Amino acid sequence: MRSRSLRIALHIVYAHTHHPILFDICGLNMSSITVRKVDFEFPEDVALYALPGMPRVSLFIVAFSLTMPYLEPYLIRMMLKATQHVNDENLIEDMKRFSQQEGNHYRNHARINQIVRGKFDAATAAELLRIEHELKAEYELFLNDKSMRYNLAYAEGFEAMTCAAAMGGANRSQEKSGVSKGWAELLDWHALEEIEHRTVAFDVYNHVVGGYFYRVAAGLRSQFHYLYYIHRFYTVMLKAKGMRVYPYVPFFLLAGGFRYLNTLMPWYNPANYKIPNDLNRRLDQYGALAKEN
Ligand SMILES: [Fe+2]
Ligand SMILES: [Fe+2]
C-alpha cells in the first residue's frame, strides 16, 4: 500500500518536473532497447579478411568498419540536437539508448580498425586515414550547415539500409557464419543491436520531419553519399592487395535484398520486421559479456 502511494507521489512529482531519474524510477520508461557496454579484446593477429575465402567481400566489410568511428558519432550528435524537437518521453529514452549503443559500436570498430590499418603498407594506411578525415569533416559540415530535416533523413536512410542488411543475416549465428575470430563477435553483436534499435531513426524522422517522398529521396541520397565513401576505402584496399576493381553491387544492398527494396515503399515501417525468436537470447549473451568487463 505504502509503495503504491509512493509510486503515485513520484508520478505526480514527475508530471511537474519531468526529471529523467524519476522517469526511470516510476517505471514510465517503455524502451525495449538495452545498452550493453561490450569491449571486445581483438587479437593482434585478427585477420584482415572477415571471410577468409571471400577477400573482396571482406574488404567491403573493412571499408564499412572504417566509416563507423565517423558515421556513428555523427548520428549520436544528431540525436542530441534532435531531442529538443521531440516531446515524447519514450522516444527520447529510445534516442538516448540508441546513442549509447552506437557509441559502444564505434569504439569497438575504432580498435579493430587500428589493427587492420596496420596490415597495409604505410602509404595505403595513410591514404585510408586521409579519407577518414575527409569523411569526419563532411559529417561535421552536415551537422553545422544542413537542416535537421536533411540530417534526420540521412540517419533514417542509413539505418534502413543497414538494418535490412542485418536482417538478411539475422538467422545465422556467429558460430556458423564462417567469419574469422574478432570480426565474428563484433559484426554479430553490432548487427543484432542494429535490429534492436531499428525503429529509432525512423520514429524520430516521422516525429520531427515526416513525409514519405522526402524520406525516400533524401534517404537514397544519403545512401549514395555513404556508399561513395565505402567505395573509396574499398578501391584503395583492393588496389593495395593487387586486386582489380570490377563493377559491383554494394554488399549491403545484396544482403538486404527485397527487405532493402521494401524500405523504399510508403508502407515501410521497421517496427513490422519479424524479428528472430532468439534475438534476445543472443543479445543477452553479449549483455553477460558486458557485465564481466
Ligand atoms: Fe551501430
Ligand atoms: Fe544504428
pLDDT in tens, 258-269: 999 999 999 999
Ligand nearest to the CA of 64: 1
CA distance 124 to 105: 25
CA of 3 to the centre of ligand 1 (A): 39
Mean pLDDT of the chain: 90
CA distance 196 to 98: 9
Per-residue pLDDT band for 270 (boundaries 50, 70, 90) equals very high
CA distance 266 to 259: 13
Per-residue pLDDT band for 150 (boundaries 50, 70, 90) equals very high
CA of 85 to the centre of ligand 1 (A): 23
Of 131, 115, 119, nearest in space to 233 by CA: 131
Q: What is the pLDDT of residue 116?
A: 95
CA distance 66 to 53: 21
Helix, strand, coil: what percent of the chain each, to 5? 70, 0, 30
Ligand nearest to the CA of 190: 1
Q: Which three cell numbers stand for residue 193?
A: 543491436
pLDDT reading at 244 higher than 80: yes
Neighbours of ion ligand 2 (CB under 5 A): 194
Q: What is the pLDDT of residue 207?
A: 98
Q: Provide the CA 145 distance to its chain's centre, in angstroms.
A: 23
CA distance 155 to 272: 19
Q: What is the pLDDT of residue 6?
A: 61
* Residue whose grid cell is 573482396: 56
Lowest mean pLDDT among 8-17, 38-47, 239-248, 263-272: 8-17
Q: What is the pLDDT of residue 9?
A: 63
Ligand nearest to the CA of 33: 2
CA of 13 to the centre of ligand 2 (A): 34
Helix (H, G, I), strand (E, B) or coil at 79: helix
181, 46 contact by CB (below 8 A): yes
Q: Provide the CA 157 distance to its chain's centre, in angstroms.
A: 11
Between 290 and 20, name the one with better pLDDT.
290
Ligand nearest to the CA of 107: 1
End-to-end CA distance of the chain: 39
**pLDDT (tens digit per residue) in 6-33:** 655 655 565 555 554 555 555 555 688 9
- Assess if CATH 1.10.620 describes domain 40-292: yes
Q: Which three cell numbers stand for residue 243?
A: 586486386
What amino acid occupies position 104? N
Average pLDDT over residues 115-143: 97
Phi-psi region of 257 (alpha: psi -120 to 50; beta: other; left: phi over 0): left
Q: What is the pLDDT of residue 24?
A: 52
87 burial type by CB count under 10 A (0-12 exposed, 13-18 middle, 19+ buried): exposed
CA of 199 to the centre of ligand 2 (A): 9
189, 181 contact by CB (below 8 A): no
Torsion of CA 272, 81, 194, 58, to 10 degrees: 130
- Please, which residues have CB within 8 angstroms of residue 104's CB and are 6 or more apart in sequence? 35, 36, 37, 38
Ligand nearest to the CA of 198: 2
CA of 1 to the centre of ligand 1 (A): 43
119, 58 contact by CB (below 8 A): no
CA of 223 to the centre of ligand 1 (A): 15
For the chain, what percent of residues have pLDDT higher than 70?
A: 86
What amino acid occupies position 41? E
Ligand nearest to the CA of 202: 2
CA distance 253 to 230: 13
Listed by start position, the domains of the chain span 1-30, 40-292
CA distance 140 to 146: 10
182, 48 contact by CB (below 8 A): no
pLDDT reading at 1 higher than 50: no
Ligand nearest to the CA of 105: 1
Q: What is the pLDDT of residue 214?
A: 98
Ligand nearest to the CA of 102: 1
Reported as type and span, the H/E element at residue 39 is none
Q: What is the pLDDT of residue 29?
A: 56
CA of 201 to the centre of ligand 2 (A): 8
